[in-house]
Copies of this chain bind each other. A is one copy, B any other.
Amino acid sequence: MSSSESQPPQPPPPSDSAATISKKAAKKEAAKLEKLRRKQESALAATTATLSVDDDDPLAASYGDIPLVELQSKTAVDVNTWTRVEALDRSLENRTVLIRGRVQTIRPVAKKMAFLVVRENGYTVQCLLQTQPDLVSLQMVKFAAALSRESIVDIEGIVSVPDTLIKAATQQQVEIQVRKLYCVSRAVPTLPINIEDAARSEVEIEKALQEGEKLVRVNQDTRLNFRVLDLRTPANQGIFRIQSQVGNVFRQFLLSEGFIEIHTPKLIAGTSEGGAAVFRLNYKGQPACLAQSPQLHKQMSICGDLSRVFEIGPVFRAEDSNTHRHLCEFTGLDVEMEIKKHYFEVMDIVDKLFVSIFDSLNQNCKKELEAVRKQHPFEPLKYLRQTLRLTYEEGVQMLKDAGIEIEPFGDLNTEAERKLGQLVSEKYGTEFYILYRYPLAVRPFYTMPCYDNPKEYSNSFDVFIRGEEIISGAQRVHKPDLLEQRAEALGIDVKTISTYIDSFRYGAPLHGGFGVGLERVVMLFCGLNNIRKTSLYPRDPVRIVP
């Protein structure tokens, strides 16, 4: 779909030959014409949106809007009747095919011709209507020219192979000579955002600006307001396929390691893990809240001898964090497991799991990553076959050596995390690493203190990608008396978590686990600048629609 953006509504050739004018001039011209084309198209749409088939046309049966009754599952058909746009190639030359897709661009040429670029699943093909006796009427071309962009059409036509490559479509070697054209579903004539605007990269916009042209920039809020249009860009199609793949590898890896998938309740009595950041609600007359994580219930599942569990599900945080990396609802990837002796057993799983995820994305999502990269340029993530592990103390020392003083028993702030990420990347050549043995004071009450310094350190770790924290994990306290003591020390009312603490009274296994945010994994792997880009319908302090 990319090269179609600057396609001017000028006469043939139907397949573009190499441009001969200077790039800069061409760009300028293109932008002008683009503006013009939009005006024309919108005017055209306004006058012809209600255009119906001309009954006097002997070819009237070859085009038109499919009536509702035909779309109400009137006849079952073999879905293989349609050829996928992706599958169109030279082997189909002179064959008649039926395709279904969206009209991405419409380029009328005088009154006798029209070019449609039709898109299906990110692949596009150029379709040509040219008046011909007994085949294509003037009215049919008019119908095509008056289609609104993003409408869905069925096109039957003959595959032809033009002399030169078609630049306006991803299928460059073939085009379709249209014989029949039916509109399945119409889009409104004026779209709130145009897909090619939404698909434009910042780089392109900046470059054009330097050359004196102002291309449309669709801001994040507008995108999210019209998410169903925004989702149709190649980058977004890539992002959500990558997200699906992360979930898939996460599960498959853990299942292969003997984990089972669980589903814990999101409706919790009382106030979950405590704190202000909970959404409260009334549960049949009882005070309740939404789970801030599956922490308590995944640990209880370990006490119930499920041994190794994971969960993929929503996590709710009522925090007022208007940052690039916080959401009020996100998808948590949670793991909890029995350990034999040491929480490094948990870190070993983290290590292998994430290397598997990264490897799989690089191998199986090449096309999707490329689509993201085209709009949002990024360098591939640097990671090692065996993940680097540093103690918190070593991290603090590295920062100190670089002139940054950190409170040794406090937490790293965002800036320090980023700096440390940079130092680690320079020294060890990885942008993915584990920092362990965190200060006890900055970890939740259920974190096991260190054996050799239980007042100051804990058996816990964070994991970083590109200098941002992505995973938190730890060995958990499995002794109910110590758990109570730790909760009290952190000011938690033990009565509110009594069912949780009681779970440890019937013989609790040694265990540990970790939690990850799915949206953050995708955001940081792809080097994106905002978590709203990797959440399908993000929820933040000011957004709860669509």
Contacts and interface: CB of A to CB of B under 8 A. Distances in A.
B545 A284 contact: no
> Which 10 residue pairs are nearest across A and B when measured between Cβ atoms?
A231-B304, A187-B507, A72-B451, A244-B260, A499-B546, A76-B342, A281-B281, A228-B303, A150-B507, A73-B342
A192 B546 CA distance: 48
A541 interface: yes
Contact of A329 (B102, B266, B449, B538): B266
Interface in A28-84: 68-77, 79, 81-82
A313 interface: yes
A288 B191 CA distance: 28
A343 interface: yes
Contacts of A373: none
A53 to B, nearest CB: 19
Interface in A251-268: 251, 255, 260-268
A237 B546 contact: no
Contacts of A243: 261, 263
Contacts of A82: 340
Contacts of A262: 240, 244, 536
Range of interface residues on chain A?
35 or more
Contact of A281 (B185, B241, B279): B279
Contacts of A537: 264-265, 297, 300
30 contacts: A70-B451, A71-B478, A71-B510, A73-B342, A73-B343, A73-B451, A76-B342, A81-B340, A82-B340, A102-B305, A121-B305, A187-B505, A191-B506, A226-B506, A228-B506, A236-B304, A240-B306, A241-B260, A244-B255, A251-B251, A266-B266, A266-B316, A267-B279, A267-B316, A267-B329, A269-B544, A279-B283, A283-B544, A284-B542, A500-B546
Interface string A232-254: 10001100110110011001000
A2 interface: no
A265 B505 contact: no
B73 A304 contact: no
A49 to B, nearest CB: 12
Nearest to A299: B228
A188 interface: yes
Contacts of A228: 300, 303-304, 503, 506
A182 to B, nearest CB: 12
Interface string A342-372: 1111000000000000000000000000000
A342 B510 contact: no
Interface in A101-152: 102, 121, 148, 150-152
A228 B307 CA distance: 12
A345 B319 CA distance: 43
Contacts of A264: 536-537
Best-surrounded residue of A228, A283, A320, A508 (most CB of chain B within 10 A): A228
Contact of A229 (B150, B241, B506, B538): B506
Interface in A285-336: 286, 288, 290, 297, 300-301, 303-307, 312-314, 316, 318, 320, 328-329, 331
